[in-house]
Structure 1
Amino acid sequence: MDIHKELDARGLTCPLPILKAKKALSDMHSGEVLKVLATDPGSVRDFQAFARQTGNDLVDQQAQQSEGRDEYIHFLRRR
């Protein structure tokens, strides 16, 4: 999967990762993919709801450990 833009939302809590993703997606073309890095566990549900509400495609979500903390990676394709 080609990533067209990456957004680092680590350390931010709801609703900031969603708001920043919304802004980033508005500057992208249809079909392009945004990768969002987050540390807020609530971001998993938040991005699922965001994709349903906006019509953007939530391509994948991943969880990983980085520097002893949980990180969540979200991949959104612009509608």
Structure 2
Amino acid sequence: MADQTLDAKGLNCPLPILKAKKALKELPTGGTLQILATDPGSVKDFEAFCRTTGNELVESSQDGSTYVFVIRHTN
């Protein structure tokens, strides 16, 4: 279970990433953020976001029309 959940459903790029970036800043190192999104582009966006920021993409899955991501704050 994630420490915090961000509901980004209905938002299009780049809003889910921007909201996740802000939420991650509020988490301690090692904390996890679950993001719920409906934008299909968010799959590649969150993979790239984690690669460039050094945060860990713990989970990337799909539940119906909702994409679920869990990111661990590592820096």
Range into which the TM-score falls when normalised by the shorter chain: over 0.9
**What's the CA shift string for 1:20-69, capped at 9, x where partnerless?**
0000000000001000000000000000000000000000101011xxxx
Larger Rg computed on CA atoms: 1
What fraction of aligned residue pairs are identical, expressed as a percent?
53
SS in 2 for 1:30: coil
The aligned counterpart of 2:42 is: 43
- The gaps in structure 1 that reach 5 residues or longer are none
The Cα RMSD (Å) is: 0.5
Aligned-partner Cα distance in 2 for 1:5–1:60: 14
SS in 1 for 2:59: strand
Q: Output the TM-score relative to the length of structure 2.
A: 0.97
Runs of 4+ residues over 3 Å off in structure 1? none
The size of the alignment, in residue pairs, is: 74
Read off the aligned partner of 1:77 and give its amino acid letter. R
User: Does the alignment pair 1:77 with 2:72?
Assistant: yes
- The gaps in structure 2 that reach 5 residues or longer are none
